[in-house]
Each structure stands twice: as C-alpha cells, then as structure tokens.
Chain A
Amino acid sequence: MATKVLMPQLGESVTEGTISKWLVNVGDNVKKYDSLAEVTTDKVNAEVPSTVSGRIAEIVVPEGETVEIGTLILYIEESGEAGAAAVAPTQEAPVQQQPVSAPVQPSAALAASQPAQQKASPNQDGPKQRYSPAVMALSQEHGIDLSRVVGTGAQGRVTRKDVQAIIDAGGQQAEAPVAQNTAPVAVSQPEPTPVPAAATATSVSSVPATTRVDIPVASGDQIIPVTPIRKTIASRMVQSKHEAPHAWTMVEVDVTNLVHFRNQAKDEFKRKEGLNLTFLPFFIKAVVESLKEYPMINSTWAGDKIIVKKDINISIAVATEDALYVPVIKHADQKSVLGIAKSVDDLAARTRAGKLTMDDMTGGTFTVNNTGSFGSVLSQPIINAPQAAILSVESIVKRPVVINDMIAVRSMVNLCMSLDHRVLDGLICGRFLQSVKQKLENVGPETKLY
C-alpha cells in the first residue's frame, strides 16, 4: 500500500505551496527523512523530507505547480504495508512553525498543553513504521533502535531476521547515518555534504538520548511529555557529548572601551538603523575575524580527516521559553557589525516567531552563544556538532581590575570556549581566544560599524 504524501503546511496561514523542485524520481528508493522536494510557500522555502522508507511510486504534482495544503503530491510505497500510514499525519516541513508549546505551568490544566504538543508531534514522528511483535520484542530486549535498522522486508519493513542479524553481529553500531537525516528541527544541521561525521565516527555509543528510563514518579510529581523538539535537542546533545571529547577554556576580556563605544553609538544607530545596537555583534565580529586567522577552529571532525570550512557561518543560540534554536548567520565574514546586528535581530525575531526556515538553521561552522544575556558569568557550552568549537559570551560586569599596579573599575567579560579535542588543542584555541580578546579590547572610536 502506498503512503500518500501531502503538501505540508509550511507555516501558519499558509494555504498553498509550490513544488519548486522534485529531488526524487519515480522508482527511487528513499529512506526516512530523505528530502523529497523543495517547496516554496509565501512564507517558507523548505525541503520536504520523507517520513517513511520506501520507493517513490508516483509523482502526482509536477514541478512548478502550486497546490493547496493537504493536496496529494506523491505516493511512496512504504515498507510494512502500513495501511494506517496512509492516513497518518502528512509530511510536514521540518521547519517547525510552532515548535514549542507554552511552558507547562503547574497550574495549567494538562489538557491545555495537549493540543500544542500534538500539533508539534507530527513534525517529528510522521507516519510510523509498523513493527511486528517479534521485532518489537527483540529490539526492546537487545536495545536496538529500530529507526536505524534498514528493513529488508516488503517495502522496507524491518523483519525479525533483520533485527536478529544485528543482534547476532553483536548489536547495533554507533548511532550513525540516520543522525544525519534526523529531522532538523531545532539544532543546526550539518550541511548536506556527504561528510558523514558521525557515520565514520569511532564512537561506540548507541545509547539513544530518548531511551526510556524507569524513574520512579512520586505523587504530585509533574510529568511533562517530551516534545519532538526536546527529543531532538536531547539526542543531539547526547550525540555531541558522546562523540566529541570536550575541552574547555576561558579568557577574561576587558571590554570597557567596547562598552563606552557602544553606549555612544547606540542612540544614533537606533535612529539610523531602527534596531538596538547590542554587544553581541561586536563579539561575533571579533570571533569571525579571529576565525579567519585560525581557520582550524572553523572545521569539522570527519573520522579519517578534518574538514576546514571555507565559509564562516556563525550559529547563534537563541533560546525560547523551553527550547533552544541555533539559526545561522551565513557568511558572517562578509558582514559588518551592522550586518551582523541585523542578522542577529532578524534570526532572533524569527526564532521567537517560529518562522525559521530550514535554510536558516543549516550550515553553521562555529557557534557563538550569548549566555550573558541571562546573567551567566561562566558556562561550559556543549559543542554544536559537527562543529569543532563553541564560544559563549558571558555577562559584562564591572569589576576591580589591576592595571599597571593600580586598581581600576573595568567592564569585564568572560569568554568560555568548548572545543572538540579531536580537532583542536589548547594551544591553537588559546591563540584564537587571545586574538578575539585583543580585537575586543581594541574596539574604540575608530571601530567601523558599517
């Protein structure tokens, strides 16, 4: 039985979408999460991923055609003849238009939070592969993550023999290729280059982040179902911590001059540009400049090689009430402070509005995390895999500092950096941080905003 793929609703109020390009042909075998088509709507351009494994049976809507949301666009002959899959949630854009429900307040009725969760869930779950009792039992007994098993049964169904073969071979290997394909809901995604960082990783862990754990629940405890986005965050965090040996370092930076400069410039900036001049663009600018000097920092571990990225695309962490997104400032090395400021403003606004596109969240090469925005003075960020490092900017605080044997009150900030020790060592990171520090401390009246 073929699974129907419908035109997804890519954004609230969107009523139609255009198939800008088919990425598959009839007869192609696709895996779950493989991209099927590029879809353009008046809000979002996105690649629509498959939520089932199977074979492309029929393309219903030709390229260039605009159809209503919910219109049948494609048939996929799914594995496991999952009849119910045909009526399962349509394939939705990976871009969560409303990724996050309101925070679950203790006083809020559970029911109130339910609808939001249900809305969010199809993003991640999609039509489910159906497993036989034997497959379920075996996989549970042996800790096999079925989403990572390639089925050999009819229409790609995972058979008992498939699972048994994995068990007989000693169990499941490290969480691998599928991680590449995991719905890119929240955390920035590696570029769709064939660089399967994780695929070739030597990591042996196969513990899924969302493994069910039996934790006793006491009466009065609140149980919050894990939303798809939270699952994704969890699994990516676990993946990063498992795969990348984190080292950490920190420098103190005297940003007194930066503070003065920014305070002088902000009003005019606001008037001219219509947006607040925050400190973050200066930090990003300094980081970008230093990355140019130390391109190794702007790289990725690829198992048997290290890939140094040409582009400098800075991921910035944007927190919402209960999730974390990491949209990307593309080509940050080609942007002025103003340009960066605009990008930050735009991405933050769209994140909070739930209007990030797939493209917004892919391609990051280094992450700057503005932990200072919530008052932190010290943090140990987790690397945004497969990037090689992450830098967090802490709060700017006035502190007594000894300068030339005299005590002065200065505006100080801590820059904390976690690095993938497979790629980077302390020396280069130290140098990199010194470079950033120097650039920040040298901000002054001559610093260009434009």
Chain B
Amino acid sequence: MAVISFIDAVTMAMREEMRRDQNVFVLGEDVGVRGGVFRATVGLIEEFGEERVIDTPLAESAIVGVGIGAAAYGMRPIAEIQFADFIMPAVNQIVSEAAKMRYRSNNDWNCPMTIRAPFGGGVHGALYHSQSVEAMFTNTPGLKVVAPSTPYDAKGLLKAAIRDEDPVLFFEHKRLYRLIKGEVPDHDYVLPIGKADVKREGTDITVISYGLALHFCLQAAEKLAQEGISAHVLDLRTLYPLDKEAIAEAASKTGKVLIVHEDNKEGGVGGEVAAIVAEHCLFDLDAPIKRLCGPDVPAMPYSPPMEKFFMLNPDKVLKAMRELANF
C-alpha cells in the first residue's frame, strides 16, 4: 500500500472512476491542460482526452448547471469549483436545482453529480481563498456534503460520491492537499457517505471535528495522552446528512463533548452537532457541549498575524481539550 498525499488520493479516485465508468467526466476551470490550479486533475486530460476533462468557461453557475443537465441525462460529472469561495454564483444551481431535482420530480429525475471544492485557510489565501462555506449547504436536504480529512477517506469517499445517485458536494481542505499523507490502497474501494469515523478511541473527552481541524485534534490528543487525558476523536466525514448515531454514541461515551471546526462558530456545523448531542445524550452529558471554531468575522484576513489568529492550531485545540477534560 502506497503512502500518498491527500491530493493524490483525490486524483487517484477520479482516475479510477473515469477508467471504470465512461460516463464519469470532469469539468471546471483549468482542470484540463493545467491539471487544476491545485493539480488535482493532473494527468487526466492526457489519459481521457479533452472531451472528458473539460476546461470550461469561467462561469461557476454554468459549470454546475451544465453538470446538472448532464447528470440528469445519465452522466457522472465531477465539477470542480476552483475555490469554495467562488461557489456562490452556483448556489442557485446547487440548492434550487441539483438538491431538489429528485424530490420535485417525485423521483422521476435525479442528479448524480459530484461538486468538488477546495476550502479552508492557512495558505495565505485571504478572504476569498480561505473560506469554509460548508454551513451554507448543510441545511439542504437532497444534497450530501462530504469533507474528508485523510487520503484514505478522500479516495473512498470521492469514489462513493461519484457513484452516488444524488448530488454530493465534496469539500477538500486545501491545506490538507500536501500536508497530509497516508496509506491509500491502490485497489478499488468506496467508503459510505453519511458515516462518521472514530479516528481515535478515548475515554475522557469526545472531540468531534472534520477537515484540517481534525488533524489538530489528533495531534492534541496525542499530547494529552502523555498527561493522562484520553480523547475520543470522531471524524464527521459527512457534514450532511450527519451521522447522528455515531455522534450520539461518541458523545455518550465520555459525556464531555468538544466540537472543533475552522468554519466560524455561529450557525456552523458544530451547532447542529451540539443540538444532536443535546437532543439525544442529555443524561450522558457531564459538561457543557463546547465548540472551538473560527471567529465570527466575514472571512480570513491576509496579514499573517491575523491569519494565524483566525486559524485553529494544535495548541488552541489542546487548550480547549484540556479545559474540558478538567471540567
């Protein structure tokens, strides 16, 4: 089994699926000859040609809208939004169209489409290349929202997204692309969308996270273990619909829950997770449900100290985890 980077796992998933199914194709800005600005689609145009690796006009609504039409007809488009920040022109297509197509047609039509979007900060991307926009979509039944944190999960979940009969918004934290490497089987496998994953077993506190922040949690958990604090770390992986059972189970295990995400706090995914815990785990709770999130400011500033202030890091997470453990 090879140890590869997160982004290579993304590429591997697409390549395998394009080989497996002629209906799978990629469209987006710079996905062709350039291989994507992050190089996620590198090599695909060489292997599959420009008919299946389509450099589109710079128009996000069309990228998604055209994908929807193709998906409805029976194709398996993978649309790339270059930065999640730029998904906004396509929101109408995603929310009003892709997510509702099956429901509004009474199951006559469906939209098996994947929309990939690099999100998150810590790359000096400033306001419009750093955003976490997932919460805008995690209130949209009909849509699935996935945000893997490891190369293994990225490959398995992206393949599942491509094969899914419904639209999947696939968020890839751009900081993970080359930061995180991991073992990824080079054979075919898919991971179930809608299932969270316990990334670390523990008994003192439960930490629920996703994306880059999850790695901060794992690093903090490792340090805290030396202090005798045992953290249970749940990776949501799918942000919508949430894996309520796994959340409740993980929360009940320790009764102390910390939710960590880079997206800002108010209205973030963490609020929904907290609500699930509150609804289902009251008599297992031993502490207030805590959230550690990005600040409630419009987006991440460019200036390094400001970016650092905005971003989570292992120390911030460790402090929050220790506080909860000591509660």
Interface residues of A (CB under 8 A from B): 132-137, 153-154, 157, 159-161
Contact = CB atoms under 8 A, between A and B. Distances in A.
A132 B326 contact: no
A153 B285 contact: no
A159 B327 contact: yes
Contacts of A153: 326-327
B286 interface: yes
Given A160-B255, A161-B204, A133 B327 contact: no
Given A160-B255, A161-B204, A133 B283 contact: yes
Given A154-B327, A160-B255, 4 more contacts: A132-B286, A133-B286, A137-B284, A153-B327
A159 B284 CA distance: 11
A160 B327 contact: no
B282 interface: yes
Contacts of B284: 133-134, 137, 160
Contacts of B127: none
A414 to B, nearest CB: 55
A48 B283 CA distance: 35
B327 A134 contact: no
Interface of B, helix, strand, loop or mixed by DSSP:
loop
Interface in B44-77: none
Contacts of A159: 286, 327
B228 to A, nearest CB: 12
Contacts of A135: 286
Contacts of B256: 160
Interface residues of B, number: 12
A130 to B, nearest CB: 11
A134 B255 contact: yes
Contacts, number: 32
Contacts of B282: 133
Interface of B: 204, 254-256, 282-287, 326-327
A160 B326 CA distance: 12
Contacts of B254: 160
Given A160-B255, A161-B204, A134 B283 contact: yes
Nearest to A141: B283
A134 B327 CA distance: 13
Nearest to B327: A154
A132 B204 contact: no
Contacts of A133: 282-286
B224 to A, nearest CB: 15
Nearest to A80: B327
A134 B286 contact: yes
B283 A137 contact: yes
A85 to B, nearest CB: 16
Nearest to B286: A160
Contacts of B285: 132-134
A157 B327 contact: yes
Nearest to B326: A154
A84 B326 CA distance: 20
B227 to A, nearest CB: 14
A79 to B, nearest CB: 10
B155 to A, nearest CB: 38
* Residue from A132, A137, A161 with most neighbouring chain B CB atoms (10 Å): A132
Contacts of A137: 283-284
Contacts of B286: 132-135, 159-161
B326 to A, nearest CB: 5
Nearest to B256: A160
A1 to B, nearest CB: 13
A412 to B, nearest CB: 62
Contacts of B326: 153-154
A159 B326 CA distance: 9
Query: Which 3 A-B pairs give the minimum distances between C-beta atoms?
Result: A160-B286, A137-B283, A134-B286
A142 to B, nearest CB: 13
B275 to A, nearest CB: 15
Nearest to A152: B326
